[in-house]
Amino acid sequence: MQYINFFTVLLLFLSVSPGQAQSGNGGAPTPKPCRIVVIGSSTAEGVGASTADSAWVYRYRRFLKDLHPANEVINLAKGGYQTCHLMPSGTLLPAGRPRPDTLRNITKALSLRPDAIIVNLPSNDVAAGYGVAEQLSNLDSIIRTGLSAGVPVWVCTTQPRHFSSEKIFSQLLVREAIIARYGNRVIDFWEGIAEPNGLIEMAYNSGDGIHLNNRGHRKLFERVVEKNIPAALISFSQKTKPEQPDAERPGEH
């Protein structure tokens, strides 16, 4: 798909109102089932939580099931993954970068016919030495692929990690760039989870300085719920639905 088509769809995507946030454990039932696929790394996989049920993705799955029993959350995340792992299948990447994982990348996610995709990549790119421009270019490619297939993509920001001050600064730059670039389809996994120095807030640290504990995962879950993705999907569908052809006018064939 040509770039102009991507940016046309992107503008529609960013203009969709996310709806009113659902609060607490409530929320209005979804009018029809939705399927959400999560791609990412260890936080989305559930590392840091004491049990899978306490991890943010599985909390979110349970939450959506309560809204509609046919709602689905499919989790393809795997620990250690970087943006390159999630790039479209067949993407040519610079030497030394990992190849896209065809079992867990954006292409695989789209093959599952989702209504939405969530990307959660907290810090592995910075840990591996990716620059801000490379990270954003890769995210653009992932999002463009989703939008080209008519599937909206929500992007989580970077998360705090016990890095050197230089890498913490890179994490902050990427976070701010993601927020500026992707607007209301950003899920902020930094604010309120990081200390002012960019480290993980002690109350949310699982103990390794990388992953979040049960309380931290709950915080992430609440951030995702606030986006009210099921309601946003209805608006997105209405905005991007192809126009029906007009009834034939007299004299036209």
Angle at the Cα of 193 from the Cα atoms of 191 and 199, rounded to 5 degrees = 105
Query: Which amino acid, residue 106?
Result: I
- pLDDT confidence of residue 7: 41
- pLDDT confidence of residue 181: 96
- pLDDT confidence of residue 236: 75
- pLDDT confidence of residue 21: 35
Residues 6+ apart with CB under 8 A from 16: 152, 184, 232, 235, 236, 239
- pLDDT confidence of residue 32: 82
**pTM, 2 dp:** 0.84
The DSSP line for 172-183 is: HHHHHHHHHHHG
- pLDDT confidence of residue 253: 30
d(CA 210, CA 124): 10
d(CA 6, CA 211): 34
pLDDT in tens for each of the 253 residues of the chain?
333 344 444 444 444 433 333 334 345 666 689 999 999 999 999 999 999 999 999 999 999 999 999 999 999 999 999 999 999 999 999 999 999 999 999 999 999 999 999 999 999 999 999 999 999 999 999 999 999 999 999 999 999 999 999 999 999 999 999 999 999 999 999 999 999 999 999 999 999 999 999 999 999 999 999 999 999 998 776 665 544 333 333 333 3
